Amino acid sequence: MTLNQPVAGSFRDPSGFLFVRDKTLYRQIGRVYQPHYDHLMGSGLYRRLVEEELLIPHEEVKVPAAEGEAAYKIIQPRPLSFVSYSYEWCFSELKAAALTTLRIMKTALGFGMILKDAATSNIQFRGTEPLLIDTLSFEIYREGVPWAGYRQFCGQFLAPLALMALKDVRLSRLTGVHPDGIPLDMASKLLPLRSRLRPGILLNIHLHAKGAGLLGRRMPKVKTGAVSRISLEGIIDNLEGTIRGLHWASKKTEWVDYYADTNYSPAALAEKRELVGQYIRDLAPESVWDLGANTGLFSRLASGRGIPTVSFDLDPGATEVSYLQGVKEHDHFLLPLWMDLANPSPAAGWEHNERNSLAERGPADLILALALIHHLAIGNNLPFKKIASFLAKLGGHLIIEFVPKEDSQVQRMLAVRDDIFPGYNQGQFEEDFKTVFRIDRIAKLTDSRRLIYLMSNRRSYTE
Amino acid sequence: MPILMIAVLLLFPANLYAYLDPGTGSYFFQILLAALVGVLYGFRRYLGKIRSYLNNLLGRKKGKFHDP
């Protein structure tokens, strides 16, 4: 029996929707979108954007429609290895996504089309490269008509970027609680006074917020000819220049110096890399999630082998460093994301179903949890059993490092608090993890008390 | 500011058939912004064209001068 399962988050645009059948993702294009789709494909715009790796490629397929009478065509987009959200992106990821959106908009105008929306969720990363995944975002351009996505672009891209660059990088989390974009009046209040000296921020955020508030009380008159082509190009150019002028330098962050400031000897670090690399080679996983990845030293052991890898870290600075390194290396397989594992991204949106939780986006074949356990167990008071059961939800195999209480990092954490962790020891760790994992191998690193475990999920983790 | 905004809107009303709600105030604001930014951008492009024309002209002369 074939079931058509509509994909959450693709129901707002009447042009079409995504559905899954037999584990394959399809996009149904509605008849209402026919002229726009035909223009996209016939004008050469699709080919140009796919050649420039700005738009997800697709194939037209002859399969039954999910909703027959309304269907024009069914397309099968190239699958994505992972879906991420703007509140998980570091500064440069959001900036790259914003500039990609504007570049696509400019290219589309050259082919007589326009982006009818400008949502961050339309952009996904293939490694470090952003690309548009919504093939139905294009619309035939009618000169004079204002850009419907302008407010969305300002709220979802420009406002968080300005707040990150000019106020505090952590403010990008606001995009999670305001999925339609950070309200511009709020962004205007939060931004420092000096932001008004930047013409692009003054116009597109401060005056936009004020003007929209004043003008919102008037009803629109119906007539065309308001925003000429040259004016629209001017707005896009202004947004692009403003965004290019925003920079965030991760001056002093918590973890970016971690590898230079650990109790690992160079020999132990090399041995750890060799060991983890060997396990990855042996397991040959199809996907890897590196939890507490820092700047991605160990993630790169997987992505370097062409394995789609997502690395998560609590520190936006470490995520930024890792992303910029990936950009420099043209890494198509590593996606660094900013994530607090003690409070991972929840399911969100309408019916809690437009954005998936972290666990819903798994499982990965292999989970790396190196130098992480003490942060969860001692830093967040999480019992081993709870950590084990959460990790078992995320993946099939697990490479986990046990950091004993005598370790200087743990001692540093306990220096200013009571030791309420009598059960934090190797025996308890193994006993609790054995309830959900099978321990395959244990290795002790030279010059270190730390242990590296290779474990396998006791349950079948694939659907 | 509000008077200027309303005056401009009366001069340049427009409509939009979008699935996405552009926000009424934001929609009007864009029309205002377009008028301002469009003029500046058009002027800049015009200047750019003059500059590249002059550069081409000078470049050609320079090229001829260096021809053996």
Closest Cβ opposite residue B12 in set A150, A184, A225: A225
Closest Cβ opposite residue A146 in set B14, B25, B41: B14
Q: A224 and B14: CB-CB below 8 Å? A: yes
Residue A184: count other Cβ atoms within 10 Å of its Cβ.
27
- Which residues pair with residue A291 across a beta bridge? A312
CA A62 vs. chain centroid, Å, equals: 32
Region A279-299: what's the mean pLDDT? Answer: 97
Higher pLDDT, A407 or A1: A407
| pLDDT confidence of residue B64 | 43
Region A258-272: what's the mean pLDDT? Answer: 75
Q: Which of A29-38, A217-226, A427-436, B5-14 has the lowest mean pLDDT?
A: B5-14
- As a whole number, the mean pLDDT across chain A is 92
pLDDT digits (tens, 9 = 90+) for A372-382: 999 999 999 99
Chain B residues in contact with A208 (beta carbon < 8 A): 26, 29, 33
Q: A145 and B14: CB-CB below 8 Å? A: yes
| pLDDT confidence of residue A220 | 55
Strands A71-77 and A58-60: antiparallel
A408 touches chain B (CB under 8 A): no
pLDDT digits (tens, 9 = 90+) for B10-60: 444 444 556 777 788 898 899 999 989 988 998 888 888 888 888 888 876
| pLDDT confidence of residue A447 | 81
Amino acid letter at A373? I
Task: Say if CB A323 and CB A293 are below 8 A apart.
Answer: no
* B→A interface, C-beta within 8 Å: 1-2, 5-6, 9-10, 12-20, 22-38, 40-42, 45
pLDDT digits (tens, 9 = 90+) for A174-198: 999 999 999 999 999 999 999 999 9
Specify the pTM.
Answer: 0.91
| pLDDT confidence of residue A462 | 61
Chain B residues in contact with A146 (beta carbon < 8 A): 14, 16, 22, 27, 30-31, 34
pLDDT digits (tens, 9 = 90+) for A194-242: 999 999 999 999 999 999 988 877 655 544 458 999 999 999 999 999 9
Amino acid letter at B48? G
pLDDT digits (tens, 9 = 90+) for A12-25: 788 899 999 988 99
pLDDT digits (tens, 9 = 90+) for A436-453: 999 999 999 888 889 999
User: How does residue A84 score in pLDDT terms, banded at 50, 70 and 90?
Assistant: very high
Strands A288-291 and A71-77: unpaired
Torsion, CA A447, CA A453, CA A454, CA A456, rounded to 10: 180
Q: A203 and B33: CB-CB below 8 Å? A: yes
Helix (H, G, I), strand (E, B) or coil at A61: coil
pLDDT digits (tens, 9 = 90+) for A127-151: 999 999 999 999 999 999 999 999 9
Q: How far apart are CA A359 and CA A382, in angstroms?
A: 18
Closest Cβ opposite residue A148 in set B16, B31, B40: B16
Most confident of A6-10, A424-428, B43-47: A424-428
A172 CB-near residues (< 8 Å, 6+ apart): A86, A87, A89, A91, A94, A160, A163, A164, A316
Chain A residues in contact with B43 (beta carbon < 8 A): none
| pLDDT confidence of residue B8 | 44
| pLDDT confidence of residue A448 | 85
| pLDDT confidence of residue A416 | 87
pLDDT digits (tens, 9 = 90+) for A249-258: 866 555 555 5
pLDDT above 70 for A245: yes
Spell out the alpha helix ranges (H) of A395-448.
408-414, 426-434
Percent of chain A with pLDDT over 70: 93
Whether the complex's predicted ipTM is more than 0.90 is answered with no
